[in-house]
Amino acid sequence: MMRLSRRELLAGSGLTLLPARLRAQPPSNKLNLAFIGIGTYGARCLRELAPTQNVLAVCDVDWRKRSEMNTNSLVASEVVQQYPQARRFDDWRQMLDEVDRQIDGIVIAGADHMHAIASIASMKRGKHVYCEKPLAHSVSEVRAMAAAERKYPVATQAGVQGHASEDCRRIVEWIRDGAIGTVKEVHLFQTARPPDYFPGVADQQQALQRIHKRIPIPPEVKWDLWVGPAPERPYHPMYLPRKWRAWLDFGTGILGDHGPHYLDPVVWALELGLPQTIEAETNPEWDPRNDRQTFPHRATVRYTFSANAKRPALPLTWHCFDDPPVPKGWKGPLPGGGGIISGSEGAIVFGLMYQGRPGMTVPKLVTLLPEKLDQTYRRPAPSLPRPASHWLEWVDAAKRGVRGSADFAYGGLLTEICLLGDIAIRHKGSLLHFDARTKQFLNADSANHMLASSYRSGWSLPA
């Protein structure tokens, strides 16, 4: 029987061996971890990792009680009580300085505008990094994170939790098996409005008026640390918790927040790169010339991806609080978020893969259309590995000296596609042409200016 090398075995598993010069010394049986941001998403990362790894330190900038925050989400002041052994910090930079020699990895789940700076600073110290999606706040940050990943001997993972799910991997396997023929068109959508996001135009306009009112900073909120590299501005509860996602200086909108999840199986199965053209429309009341602070409350973004040897050019449309076309043969309402992948022989409809939420359930998370195809299609045997969890795949990669299947190169691609869509939203009504080779827009200098971030004095991307 032919013996496979370790490199060949890893290639078959979807993992990549780090170059020998980049492989760190193997850590102990358990990783020693520190966490930046332990609210809703950070709390989930803690819940997934704490049973099998060591939690040495946690950091957050908002320690208010839930009753003081007008939210139903998990808050840091409650979460930290579950980990009494962990040292508590307000400033993640101080945390890195003080526990540097004790930790193997960092989990980053703070606001979008802090992801890249914290990730690169951690990688530079030789720490394995798990960073929530979107990986970054700007395209230039995405590229800097990918460059750091190539440079430093660490394992990285983007927080697209559905990547490890049975549903996501089944979609990829079915498309590659030809279940729906040649893929012709894709619609991705988020029609259910997440909690704490602007619920409508009136509230958005009201928010813009209210933020100018001076409000005392609660003593439990480390406001200057939370603002971080973003432009300085007065504290207001319209920013946190969670509402920051709708603000240009801090978040990436619903496209950046949810888009990576829904893009994941499509980009993976079809091996998509960066788009060729992008065009967006929004609710008519939102004018990017006047509103330079928030994302619109509704947007439709149309991408075109270039043809390759396996398929023709692919149109892909993102619907943000805008109903997608209902596929032929679908019965009942579509899920509150998901995708429709249409091919020459049928379609795949999928719902939320990363977690279930009330009001967003579907009979099956992955459905083949038409019904006859769903009944007669002979499902292939699994060809992709099934990790125990998305988080533990990262832990395994760190211990084995390999790169996981959702590392910063892959997660960066998902993020960059979304961020390019955000730029198109801010150029609503214009068809933007993008050169994937030079990674520049061909017909809009103003769009190219939006590729990069600028930072407040005292903050910068680590060199």
Overall pTM > 0.85:
yes
Q: Which residues in the chain come in under a pLDDT of 70?
A: 1-28, 195-196, 198-204, 353-364
pLDDT at 463: 83
pLDDT at 342: 98
pLDDT at 358: 39
pLDDT tens-digit series, residues 358-404: 333 344 689 999 999 999 999 999 999 999 999 999 999 999 999 88
pLDDT at 203: 67
pLDDT at 389: 94
pLDDT at 4: 29
The position carrying tokens 């999840």 is 261
pLDDT at 9: 31
pLDDT tens-digit series, residues 165-178: 999 999 999 999 99
CATH topology for 6-161+387-407 is Rossmann fold (3.40.50)
Average pLDDT, the chain: 90
All residues at 6 or more sequence positions from 259 whose CB lies less than 8 Å from its CB, including other chains: 134, 188, 318, 414, 417, 418, 421
